[in-house]
A and B are shown apart, each in its own frame.
Chain A
Amino acid sequence: MKAILALEDGTWFGGTSFTGPGETQGEVIFNTGMTGYQEILTDPSYAGQMVCMTYPLIGNYGVNPQDVESKRLYLDGFIVKECCKKPSNWRSTMSLPEYLRASGVLGIEGIDTRALTTHLRLKGAMRGLISTQELDPAKLSARAKAIPEMEGLSLGDKVGTLEPYAWTSTGPRTVSVKDGYAWRDRGPRVVVFDFGVKWNILRLLTELGFDVLTVPWSTTAEQVRALNADAVFISNGPGDPAALTEAVDTFKSLVETHPVAGICLGHQLLGLALGGTTFKLPFGHHGCNHPVKDLTTGKIEISSQNHGFCVDLSCCPDVVPTHVNLNDQTLEGFAHRTKPVIAIQYHPEAAPGPHDSRYFFGRFRDMVRERTGK
């Protein structure tokens, strides 16, 4: 079915919907990962965005029940050059078009994704619409201008959990914390603030022996203290960190009492809580091949990245940068000089992407052990 992708600046691309009729909108970004579309589709951080895959052949290995990063699909549109309808992989149980259709996500193929990517690189990420109904690009572009900008957008409610849940070997299990929480006490207790957490973060924390309790992002510092947690972990998630002022206040308080770590949005929120500022990158970092240097060891890791905002720590003397992106020298991680606080801008949990940065969870584990003796 014929479909059109139109951007706010009037640029448009003709293609074909591989998921049937529909219309969708969002911020158009590109991802340079050559594998991992299923993880991308289920990554809550992509809420509000339409992802263009730069690798042209997508869907080859289908979809399986294991490689999911959350309960459902969060992005608002999927843009590819050629979608494979008949996948081949021993774990595949469904094709990509079926998967998207089942979740009501519009997929468009036949797009010159390289031309689109080049355009976004030069002009920056921009808002757009995909439609099979309205095929007049000018009208679609006009409507794209009315889509809310990512800057200033808070999306935590849309993607984060509303109920606390524990992480178990079979996945999430909703729990009640109204009357306190019965920790299983198999290891240090960690409260994970869910702004759209990727499940692999929870899997890896559990693997390291943490007793993991995931809580709504709006949980207060007092509530956390009432839970008797040993440590706090702040998840990734979509949207503009600067819009989450309440959460920033919560973390300002928690860093005084708990070891705290943050990933991605969590990194940005901790940066704000420690007195830094955030700004939007022109087209963000989305891919699996960004080199990051760990300034504490001098080693380089190939990282999985997915962020549009970045932290500026220039006015925070108490915070030291620990990681830097070797492509554009932007900040990729920091630690507090005295407090047990570490954060990382990219995705050590990978999924998708290289596993080079998994040591981050080990560092968090060590930090908690040092602080709590557990």
Chain B
Amino acid sequence: MPKRTDLKKIMLIGSGPIIIGQACEFDYSGTQAVKALKEEGYEVVLVNSNPATIMTDPDLADRTYIEPIDPETVAKIIEKERPDALLPTLGGQTGLNTAIAVAEAGILDKYGVELIGANLAVIKKAESRELFRKAMRDIGLKVPESGIARNMDEVRDCGRKLTFPIIVRPAFTMGGTGGGVAYNMDDLEEISARGLAASLKSEIMLEQSLLGWKEFELEVMRDKKDNCVIICSIENLDPMGVHTGDSITVAPAQTLTDCEYQKMRDAAIAIMREIGVETGGSNVQFAINPVDGEMMIIEMNPRVSRSSALASKATGFPIAKIAAKLAVGYTLDEIPNDITRETMASFEPAIDYCVVKIPRFTFEKFPGAKDELTTAMKSVGETMAIGRTFKEALQKGLRSLETGMPGLGKLFSSLPRDREDILAKLRTPNSQRLYALRHALLSGLTEEDIFEASAIDPWFIRQIKDLVDYEAVLQTVKPGDDDFAANMLKAKEYGFSDRQLSTMWSLSEFEVRALRKSLNIEPVYYLVDTCAAEFTAHTPYYYSTYETGREVQPKKVKKVVILGGGPNRIGQGIEFDYCCCHCSFALREEGVMSIMVNSNPETVSTDYDTSDRLYFEPLTFEDVLNIIEFEQPDGVVVQFGGQTPLNLAVPLMKAGVKLIGTSPDSIDRAEDRKRFKEVVDKLGLMQPESGTAMSLTEAREIAAHLDYPLVLRPSYVLGGRGMDIVYGLDEFEAYFANCSVISPDHPILIDKFLDHALEVDVDALSDGTDTYIGGIMEHIEEAGIHSGDSACVLPPYSIPAHVVKEIERQTVALAQELNVIGLMNIQFAVKDEVVFILEVNPRASRTAPFVSKATGVPLAKLATKVMLGAKVKDLDPWSMRKEGHVSVKESVFPFNRFPGVDVLLGPEMRSTGEVMGIDSTFGLAYMKALMAASGRPPLSGTVFISVNDRDKPDMLVAAQGFHSLGFKIVATKGTAKFLIANGIKTEAVFKVGEGRPNIVDAMINKTIDLVINTVTGKKTVHESKSIRQTALLYSIPYTTTISGAKAMAEAVREVRESGLGVRCIQEYYGKVGK
């Protein structure tokens, strides 16, 4: 059946900012969908608030709305654009929920917009736990015993009927937000309260726990002629009880017989039909009782998901692209398989390798959060590895995580002792469980002991045992032995890295490499071809393995290798993937073959048609150098993938690799504190006073000399890891009491902290001679808050023009001095109109996509061209620049995932994503950014203010702002006294502990609409934490900075005056540039 011709204009809703449970996999799927629809000649309207996505690039969709994804805004866009159809299944849970909301509000009917892919009834049947359970029973499939609760009475009622442990699952949320496992009534009440608050519909399901059951997932596609195919089966290494996003998962399923697999396949297809998913991809999750094989259905998602992205990368089958084509009327047999070209999409991929996905956690960023894995997802990213065996893929995956582990084992000489401790770590799933499993085996625990403690399937335990056993063998062999080559080969087949071998054999990594090569033990590259070699494959998507075939040959053309960013983590996410993709696009434009190396399955960069070649490989020195030696590229790009590739720059250079762009020496001059100080001094610029301490004694001396407040941080860190601001000696000592190491190898950097200074980020493009200032962004939060966590405004809104000029001058001077070829990012602080340099990063920054979208100048693309030899002057970015509007970037935080963690911002970055607001004025743009990040702040109502003494004078402006807008002001005693003294009518309220009803009571009773709470010093932080926790739990808008409060008042004022409109990015760009 051909595509539908009655549709002309199709709207897509993206998934918004990167949050836990919803990451760049939806940029990947959304981008595929937009491209697929455009390819078919449809006009595409896109809504997505996330500027760091490829899908919001202005030349992808026809009309790109970088606007908040809420029903109200989407309704405005529908009213304006009048699309024929809305495709709701490619923008994650956010896209789906928003589509439901506009449909239920009657907007779609009003404007005659058809939901394609899945209609409202289907979505509700799949997403409502109650309807879904009934549907499953109707087709004879089992679901766990459960009950639905809409309030706490019903929760208690269910708690009495069901047996503990009970799993709490909120309806209509993604990534299991607000869910958890309750072992007793107290747990149940606590978790349910969170769950009810998190659910869009205030509905939670309480469900019989299947803890310890095996968990599987199938990715299904269906077309409108009812043809169904299974794209991939996935088996979780972690048993039920761990969210699938937090589980180590393996494709295909490993421990099911064909009979059992087919039963699951039949069930998945029956579910598709019963739920009525008309076209597109869905995933179905199953639990299997390991004792007797009893099968239960856990859930199904009638949309593309994180798992479908993984399945696409694991098999080479582009689920999102095909789903988009099915939605407009094609059937599976009409869509060609791009990889084989000869065959069609109506088949089930056969794979001849093993795929392991491992989640990346950042518990260290959230002190107070327990490293415990439950049904609520906590991982911030993931890595995928491909190998011919599970063992090979697992070890590749573990070293791809970049947590410092070179594989399963790192140290081989010491034997772990405490079995009880190990067993405890196995009993409660946590981010370190796999290493605990290794320790368990090393300490002599049996497979049975481990299975009993962890419920991990014995097959996985034995695979890991094979690795552990072989570690022991490898430690007994040495170069020169008869069977050394055979052992070396087997070690590589088992996925051991050169680094692991170097530790075992007391050699350097380079020596192991040389030895290995001298024995001709080198990887080959095999294809991901969807068909297990049954047909010729045309798409160049490769993985390394130690086998005999030679199916990939380097091409003799001009080519450049791009090193990607690896797994998402806080501080390194989609922004860098965006830059890598743009680098690839630019190479293609210049006729240079692009070769991408990355290990992150969620990204656009690892889509099979983004680059000319894709190596799905770990970003380690060994794996990257293997590819470079094989491909012999003309250059390697390290400046787009964030810190990961940058850390490889020097080792690669030493290995003789030709890097293009800014030289590693320049990178070092910018990153090495001493060398950078020389640069700053040479140029006559200013830096906050600082020192480097190799010991605690030295640190104390420096502190005494500089005086407080001070910024303390370990050198060479990403995203402000371990960074803190201390205001006095007690806090200083506390920092070192908690800080892990200080030594000549791990020095601590100490800076004078510029209190109440403005912070400014600058992105610039340079060829060493000419420098283009891409954007100057003024932070809304003061210096001291990590730049990745701050909101920022482009162009600056309060910095005087002459200071802006000075910032530009310094940027140009630094770019020239460091001979930057490509992008650079500088952070400045401005105090009393004096400009200080905080940091220079001679690489693409987190803000590069934001600046590119805000100004219409594709910085990363231009940087690539500069790296290939073009001149900035000739590229003339000045002529492309679009102005006349204000863009605001706001950060998005995962605090709701880590109950108990304080939400205060500081020098350690904790945001997972960002949004962009764009409008004609600062206030309107900031309002949009706030709406996109965490929901609309109140336009009227009651503001609660509690600020520390230091902030009180500044607070006045914000308080006056809200007061003049008619807000009622409520404050704690001290603040109230101060405000009243300054003529602002204020009602006093008790702090927690002063008496009842206190502020927290008021918040719970919903009489507070906005919370402004600033603190300094550990004591006040502790005292006021419950206020911030309550705000988070009850979704009350809050800000923890004065500058944020002031900006918010401004935003509310402007919105009340002029209202909010919607405009697509192409309209903004229609304005005449400078």
Binding site for B on A (CB under 8 A): 13, 30, 32-36, 38-39, 54-57, 60-61, 64, 66-67, 81-82, 84, 86-91, 112-115, 117-118, 121, 287-291, 293, 298-300, 302, 326-328, 350-355
Contacts and interface: CB of A to CB of B under 8 A. Distances in A.
Interface stretch (B159-167, B527-535, B942-950, B965-973): B527-535
Contacts of A355: 262, 265-266
Given A64-B257, A86-B462, A327 B342 contact: yes
B254 A290 contact: no
Interface stretch (B44-52, B289-297, B570-578): B289-297
B472 interface: no
B258 A36 contact: yes
A114 B226 CA distance: 34
A137 B187 CA distance: 67
Contacts of B252: 34, 55
Given A293-B333, A327-B343, A54 B533 contact: yes
B535 A91 contact: no
B549 A115 contact: yes
B352 A67 contact: no
A35 B343 contact: no
A54 B258 contact: no
Contacts of A66: 259
B147 to A, nearest CB: 29
A126 to B, nearest CB: 16
Nearest to A120: B533
Interface in B850-882: none
A291 B346 contact: yes
Given A35-B261, A91-B293, A287-B534, A300 B346 contact: yes
B549 A88 contact: no
B338 to A, nearest CB: 15
B352 A88 contact: no
Nearest to A352: B258
A115 B388 CA distance: 12
A15 to B, nearest CB: 11
A326 B255 contact: no
A117 B342 contact: no
12 contacts: A34-B351, A55-B350, A56-B389, A57-B254, A57-B390, A67-B259, A88-B457, A90-B292, A91-B293, A117-B532, A290-B347, A326-B346
A38 B257 contact: yes
B354 interface: yes
Nearest to B465: A86
A54 B332 contact: no
Contacts of B230: 302
A146 to B, nearest CB: 26
Interface in B237-262: 252-262
Interface in B253-286: 253-262, 265-266
Contacts of A84: 459
Interface in B216-250: 225-227, 229-230
B291 A90 contact: yes
Nearest to B331: A300
A3 to B, nearest CB: 15
B290 to A, nearest CB: 6
Query: Max chain B CB contacts within 10 Å: which of A13, A88, A327, A350?
Result: A88
Interface in B546-560: 547-549, 551
A39 B261 CA distance: 13
B459 A87 contact: yes
A295 to B, nearest CB: 12
B893 interface: no
- Listed from nearest, the 10 A-B pairs whose CB atoms lie closest are A36-B258, A115-B549, A352-B258, A88-B459, A54-B532, A35-B258, A32-B350, A289-B348, A117-B533, A300-B227
A353 B230 CA distance: 12
B344 A326 contact: yes
Contacts of A350: 262
A117 to B, nearest CB: 4
A54 B342 contact: no
Contacts of B346: 291, 300, 326
A87 B253 CA distance: 14
B447 to A, nearest CB: 9
Given A121-B534, A302-B347, A89 B255 contact: yes
Contacts of B259: 66-67, 351-352
B349 interface: yes
Nearest to B337: A327
Nearest to B532: A54
Given A55-B350, A291-B332, 12 more contacts: A34-B252, A60-B255, A67-B257, A87-B459, A88-B462, A114-B547, A118-B533, A291-B229, A300-B227, A302-B348, A326-B343, A355-B265
Query: Max chain B CB contacts within 10 Å: which of A34, A60, A66, A328?
Result: A34
B526 A114 contact: yes
B352 A114 contact: yes
Given A35-B261, A81-B389, A90-B292, A117 B255 contact: no
B353 interface: yes
B71 interface: no
B459 A60 contact: yes
Nearest to B391: A82
A358 B229 CA distance: 16
B352 A54 contact: yes
A67 B258 contact: yes
A289 B350 contact: yes
B333 A300 contact: yes
Given A289-B350, A355-B266, A327 B332 contact: no
A89 B291 CA distance: 9
B293 A90 contact: yes
B58 interface: no
Query: Max chain A CB contacts within 10 Å: which of B225, B349, B352, B389?
Result: B352
A61 B347 CA distance: 25
Contacts of A115: 547-549
A55 B355 CA distance: 12
Nearest to A66: B259
B393 to A, nearest CB: 10
Contact of B548 (A13, A91, A288, A298): A13
Contacts of B260: 89
A350 B261 CA distance: 12
Interface string B593-605: 0000000000000
A354 B263 CA distance: 9
Interface in B801-860: none
A55 B348 contact: no
A298 B257 contact: no
Given A56-B354, A302-B229, A291 B258 contact: no
B458 interface: yes
B347 A327 contact: yes
A327 B255 contact: no
Given A34-B350, A290-B347, A299 B226 contact: yes
Nearest to B350: A32
B225 A117 contact: no
A326 B333 contact: yes
Contacts of B459: 60, 84, 86-88
Given A33-B350, A326-B346, A327-B342, A112 B549 contact: yes
B107 to A, nearest CB: 36
Contacts of B547: 112, 114-115
Nearest to A56: B388
Contacts of A327: 342-344, 347, 535
Contact of B225 (A60, A89, A299): A299
A71 to B, nearest CB: 18
Nearest to A39: B258
Interface in B512-548: 526, 531-536, 547-548
A353 B258 contact: yes
Contacts of A293: 333
B549 A57 contact: no
Given A57-B389, A57-B390, A117 B534 contact: yes
Nearest to A90: B293
Contacts of B548: 13, 112, 115
